[in-house]
């Protein structure tokens, strides 16, 4: 990844499945718009070019480690050039629900070489802030079962044969994902937040941290208010 010099700012919310990323992104978007900032959002696996291809492949359980990596890299590459970079050039705050770090964690746990995965994403730009929503494994499992009514094949790691038991597979897979996120959070100085805290409390911290970033950028004339 490389640094960018666009007037806008790229802000990433990371974390495992079920930690509340999308909720926080939506709340941040509403707040920033009220404050007068131009805001764009982007989500994992939302490219108009490739998202349907990924869904169809997942429905058929047809993704192996390499194709999994390459399809999601294509998704981000398309969104980067069609959504993220144009918004940054326009001076917008871009809120990303997941970014390359999700790929770095998932692909490595699925058996991909970490150096190979990072080379695939050399085209990506470095975010200006990364927030990591962290939650222990058991509360995460309860939350997903409660909100979704069951476990997904891929988010449980069933495609890589960790365990024939769905719940055990989920725990083993997600614990490895969390381990990778922990390493990245320390190495890249993510701002780590407790995903078990009330939604409003998490949002308050996010707004405070972004407020500091945007105050400096507004004074320098980089970030555009609508």
pLDDT per residue as tens, the chain (226 positions) = 899 999 999 999 999 988 999 999 999 999 999 999 999 999 999 998 898 998 888 887 777 889 889 999 999 999 999 999 999 999 999 999 999 999 999 999 989 999 999 999 999 999 999 999 999 988 888 888 887 777 777 777 777 777 778 888 888 888 999 999 999 999 999 999 999 999 999 999 999 999 988 876 554 445 555 5
pLDDT at position 168 is 84
Tell me the two tokens of residue 77.
């590459």
Around Cβ 119, how many Cβ atoms within 10 Å?
A: 9
pLDDT at position 210 is 93
pLDDT at position 121 is 96
Q: Residue 82: exposed, middle, or buried by beta-carbon count in 10 A (0-12, 13-18, 19+)?
A: middle
Q: To which CATH superfamily is domain 9-135+191-218 assigned?
A: P-loop containing nucleotide triphosphate hydrolases (3.40.50.300)
The answer to whether 18 touches 143, Cβ cutoff 8 Å, is: yes
pLDDT at position 225 is 59
Q: Which secondary-structure segment (H or E) carries 40?
A: strand 39-43
């Amino acid at each position: 990844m490389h640094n960018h010099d666009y007037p806008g700012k790229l802000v990433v919310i990371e974390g495992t499945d079920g930690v509340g990323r999308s909720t926080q992104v939506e709340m941040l978007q509403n707040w920033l718009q009220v404050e007068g900032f131009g805001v764009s959002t982007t989500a994992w696996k939302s490219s108009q070019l490739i998202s349907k291809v990924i869904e169809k492949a997942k429905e058929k359980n047809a993704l192996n480690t390499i194709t999994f990596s390459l399809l999601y890299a294509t998704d981000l590459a398309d969104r980067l050039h069609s959504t993220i970079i144009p918004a940054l050039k326009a001076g917008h705050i871009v809120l990303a629900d997941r970014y390359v770090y999700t790929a770095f964690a998932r692909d490595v746990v699925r058996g991909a070489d970490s150096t190979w995965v990072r080379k695939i994403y050399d085209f990506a730009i470095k975010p200006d802030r990364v927030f990591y929503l962290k939650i222990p494994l058991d509360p995460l499992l309860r939350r997903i079962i409660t909100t979704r009514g069951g476990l997904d094949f891929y988010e449980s790691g069933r495609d890589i044969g960790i365990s024939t038991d769905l719940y055990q597979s989920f725990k083993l897979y997600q614990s490895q994902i969390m381990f990778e996120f922990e390493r990245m959070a320390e190495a890249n100085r993510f701002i780590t937040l407790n995903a078990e805290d009330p939604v409003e409390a998490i949002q308050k911290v996010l707004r405070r941290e972004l407020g500091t970033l945007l105050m400096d950028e507004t004074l320098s004339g980089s970030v555009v208010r609508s």
